[in-house]
């Protein structure tokens, strides 16, 4: 069984989250195939949201540099020019997702969509994707060098809950209503917790839109 978060800290609001479509998920997956990090779509968006919510000065460019570093200047030869164009196209497509996500977080808060497989996919696959998302988010918090002493008790607790999610046992997860409900609750919690981090770390610097 998926263990829903404990009763400490924050509580998710009902109906706060939505997920993207399979087309979104698969499209981003295809763009990430050439990434040196070999991230899943969910992990990649988690990294992006960690940079946004953690208060990175330029989250889009920082994210793109992690996933698809811009190529160094190269001689104008056919092969190199093709490679360069491919990277730029991927960065442009990923940049569209980055700006959309930033706008949703800054403008609408709790309704920003987590990039997860839709409900037609197996429960274990969806649970693993949420694990990947949280792992990506925590990775970016680490990249930003955010120390626990710089956070409120509420946000520290939320990030500890995130760490607990990455320790869940997702192997051979049974497809049943109890686990479906627990995964829905956990997904909702993750979105609300990410927004808590945003409101504390990023909103004061960016200004809420």
Q: What is the pLDDT of residues 100-130, one digit of tens each?
A: 888 888 876 556 788 999 888 999 999 999 9
Confidence of residue 79 (pLDDT cuts 50, 70, 90): low
Instruction: Determine the Cα–Cα distance for residues 10 and 44; give it in Å rounded to an integer.
Output: 25
**Mean pLDDT of the 59-82 span:** 74
DSSP letters spanning 87-129: HHHHHHHHHHHHHHHHHHHHHHGGGPPB----TTS-HHHHHHH
Residue 3 lies in a domain: no
Domain of residue 35: give its range: 22-206
**Predicted pLDDT of residue 145:** 95
**Predicted pLDDT of residue 9:** 46
Q: Which two tokens stand for residue 26?
A: 């698969």
Q: In 3-state terms, what secondary structure has residue 5? A: coil
CB half-sphere exposure, 38, CA atoms < 13 A: 0
Instruction: Determine the Cα–Cα distance for residues 194 and 162; give it in Å rounded to an integer.
Output: 10
13: pLDDT strictly greater than 50: no
Calculate what percentage of the chain has a pLDDT beyond 70.
Answer: 79
Calculate what percentage of the chain has a pLDDT beyond 90.
Answer: 47
Distances (CA, A) of 10 to 47, 81, 84, 157, 196: 22, 50, 45, 8, 9
Q: In 3-state terms, what secondary structure has residue 62? A: helix
Nearest to 128 by CA among 173, 182, 175: 173
All residues at 6 or more sequence positions from 201 whose CB lies less than 8 Å from its CB, including other chains: 53, 54, 55, 146, 151, 155
CATH number at residue 47: 1.20.120.740
Residue 66 lies in a domain: yes
Residue 93 lies in a domain: yes
Residue 17 lies in a domain: no
All residues at 6 or more sequence positions from 164 whose CB lies less than 8 Å from its CB, including other chains: 5
Least-confidence region, from 21-30, 84-93, 122-131: 21-30
Residue 58 lies in a domain: yes
**Predicted pLDDT of residue 42:** 95
Q: How many domains does the structure of the chain reveal? A: 1
136: pLDDT strictly greater than 80: yes
Instruction: Determine the Cα–Cα distance for residues 28 and 136; give it in Å rounded to an integer.
Output: 15
pTM: 0.84
Q: What are phi and psi of 118, to 5 degrees?
A: -80, 180
All residues at 6 or more sequence positions from 151 whose CB lies less than 8 Å from its CB, including other chains: 159, 200, 201
Confidence of residue 35 (pLDDT cuts 50, 70, 90): confident
Residue 2 lies in a domain: no
Residue 77 lies in a domain: yes
Round the average pLDDT of the chain to a whole number and report it: 82
Residue 14 lies in a domain: no
């Amino acid at each position: 069984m998926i263990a829903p978060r404990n009763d400490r800290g924050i509580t998710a609001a009902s109906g706060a989250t939505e997920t993207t479509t399979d087309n979104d998920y698969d499209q981003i997956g295809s763009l990430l195939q050439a990434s040196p990090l070999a991230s899943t779509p969910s992990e990649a968006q988690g990294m992006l949201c960690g940079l946004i919510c953690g208060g990175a000065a330029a989250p889009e460019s920082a994210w793109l540099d992690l996933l698809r570093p811009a190529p160094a200047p190269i001689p104008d030869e056919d092969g190199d020019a093709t490679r360069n164009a491919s990277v730029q196209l991927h960065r442009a497509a990923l940049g569209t997702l980055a700006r959309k996500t930033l706008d949703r977080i800054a403008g609408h808060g709790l309704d920003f969509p987590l990039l997860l497989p839709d409900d037609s996919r197996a429960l274990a696959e969806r649970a693993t994707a949420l694990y990947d998302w949280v792992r990506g988010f925590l990775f970016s918090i680490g990249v930003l060098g955010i120390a626990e002493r710089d956070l409120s008790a509420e946000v520290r607790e939320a990030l500890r809950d995130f760490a607990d999610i990455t320790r869940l046992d997702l192997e051979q997860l049974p497809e049943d209503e109890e686990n479906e409900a627990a995964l829905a609750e956990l997904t909702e919690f993750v979105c609300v917790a990410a927004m808590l981090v945003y409101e504390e770390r990023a909103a004061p610097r960016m200004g809420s839109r």
